[in-house]
Amino acid sequence: MSRMPYKGGIVAAVLAAALLAGACSSGQGNAQGAQPQPRVTLVSAAPNAPAVDWVEGTQTTSIKVFFAYEPNVEQRRPPFTRPAAREVHSDEAGVLALQALFDGPRRDEEAKGLRFESSGATGVSDLRVVNGVASLKLVGGCDAHGSPVTVGEEITNTLKQFKVVKAVKIYGPDGTTTDPSGTGDSLPACLVRTTAVT
């Protein structure tokens, strides 16, 4: 069973573009008034990762993608995410759920207050699930910016809807996370909240 909707060379090319876009978005070397670079998204499974039965049964399935909910974020009042429905292929449901997250909410969903909080990330790579623990690496940038919600919460909530995922470990672009060996969730230091939430 194919674990990656994006094959070898294509993934490498998109990864390079994602890293370039992340560098451009930092504001260095951009002329004032220049058009913003389009967000490049990359979501891929880890090479040779174990096959994952994301959803049993049907060929396609309805899943939830958790986006930041603007009214609650502005008032710093949990919960900070709300789900939007998507139809995806069952055998790639986890990868496609994260791709849908980085694609952002649709216009009608934006009108209802949903938005994608990227925290500077342009995608994720090396998604794998082993013994109930999903792990992945952020691509591009990584900064909580003092926000009460980060891409880490959106990713964690999106992946934990699947019964096969009990914990989510997110690594920063530098390859580190705060609790790599524990059994619970883990975020990179760049996504740890630095402000109090009421």
Cis peptide before 79 (omega within 30 of 0): yes
User: What is d(CA 102, CA 73) in angstroms, rounded to the nearest whole number?
Assistant: 19
DSSP 173: T
What is the mean pLDDT for each group of 10 consecutive residues in the chain (198 residues)?
38 35 37 47 86 87 97 96 96 95 97 97 96 96 94 98 97 97 96 61
Per-residue confidence (pLDDT) for residue 45, from 0 to 100: 87
Domain locations in the chain as residue ranges: 8-191
DSSP 64: E
Per-residue confidence (pLDDT) for residue 56, from 0 to 100: 83
Per-residue confidence (pLDDT) for residue 5, from 0 to 100: 41
DSSP 132: T
Q: Residue 153 burial (CB < 10 Å; 0-12/13-18/19+)?
A: buried
Helices of type H across the chain: 8-25, 70-75, 93-103, 107-111, 151-159
State the pTM of this model.
0.79
